[in-house]
Amino acid sequence: MKSRTLFALALFAGLFCAGALRAQVNDSTKQLSREIFKQLVEINTTDSVGSTTIAAQAMAKRLLDAGFPASDVQVLGPNDRKGNMVARIHGTGAKKPLLFICHLDVVEARRADWSMDPFQFIEKDGYFYGRGTGDIKDGDTFLVTTFIRLKQEHYQPDRDLILALTADEEGGAFNGVAWLIKNHRDLIDAEYVINPDAGDFELDNGKHLLVGIQASEKLYQDFDLKVTNPGGHSSLPTSENAIYQLAEGLTRLEKYHFPFELNEVTREYFKQEADIVGGQTGADMKGILQTPPDPAALRGFPRYLITTRGFARPALPRDWTAATPTTLCPEWRTPT
């Protein structure tokens, strides 16, 4: 939604410079954020054929044009396609730096799978379309725009503010955060990190619904399954076939449902979300909070079951602000 990004920008600006900036976003800032958003979406940053370097250079140019000295803006990376951008606003040094990270890369998008060109920025019926509009070039946009505003208003915080726009969060072999930590730790060393990809701002027809903050992260695990049996010659096939045995095992796995489980984070999430969502889904959320959980409610919203069943036992990780979530997990079936 159009207003979503702008709302995020306004709130974000207010987040770390309350008083220095008016909460109201003026028209030129709106225009600038829209231009940056369009520019980023139209730069293909997929792992297969895209380049985060081009996006990083484009954002670096934006900052340089806005008055950042060249010494405070850098594009660095392991090769010419996986560049990261790091920029800095100098504070008084009273406190340790604060780092903002956001990834530049996007998930693959085949033109044939889309009803429109995924790398063309389109605004239609109150929505923005294009790969990365929601993950997370909107975040890149409001960070770059906010850094430009801060520079142009000569804002001096009590700590350095660092911006790192990075490669390969979604996949690929050159994760920008890991690469920067390993090769240029001095450039991004900070007291703590804020990552817009770990939360969201939600509006419903102009009404402010929530500011989401990530308090835990679902984890996934890969398994290799191997089946061996005596085998034999292909001219004498037997019913004891390793391929069928493996298939039987996978079918059993498909039918298995991990036990329903809440922890302090998911319990609180559903409690808060129930009233915001309302309707039947909200009622179902309240239903699963009962002891024991209401079975009908459990069947009501399979989309959410992934947060209550599975491999992970979420707990607040020590460095949760640096977590970069990527939701790759398929939906679980509703238990029967």
Residues that bind Zn ion (CB under 5 A): 135-136, 197
Return phi, psi of residue 205, to 5°.
50, 45
Q: How far is the CB of 132 from Zn ion (least distance, A)?
A: 9
Which residue, 29 or 175, has its beta carbon nearer to Zn ion? 175
Q: How far is the CB of 133 from Zn ion (least distance, A)?
A: 12
Q: How far is the CB of 28 from Zn ion (least distance, A)?
A: 28
Cα distance between residue 99 and residue 187, in whole Å: 10
Q: How far is the CB of 299 from Zn ion (least distance, A)?
A: 30
Which residue, 108 or 189, has its beta carbon nearer to Zn ion? 108
SS3 for 36-93 is HHHHHHCCCCCCCCCCHHHHHHHHHHHHHHCCCCHHHEEEECCCCCCCEEEEEECCCC
Which residue, 135 or 138, has its beta carbon nearer to Zn ion? 135
Q: How far is the CB of 135 from Zn ion (least distance, A)?
A: 4
One-letter amino acid of 224: D
SS3 for 295-318 is HHHHHHCHHHHCCCCCCCCCCCCC
Which residue, 196 or 300, has its beta carbon nearer to Zn ion? 196
Q: Judging by beta carbons within 10 Å of its beta carbon (0-12, 13-18, 19+), is residue 72 exposed, middle or buried?
A: middle
Cα distance between residue 308 and residue 298, in whole Å: 10
- End-to-end CA distance of the chain, in Å? 36
Q: How far is the CB of 329 from Zn ion (least distance, A)?
A: 14
Three-state DSSP at 333 gives coil
Which residue, 139 or 300, has its beta carbon nearer to Zn ion? 139
Which residue, 21 or 41, has its beta carbon nearer to Zn ion? 41
Neighbours of 55 (CB within 10 A): 29
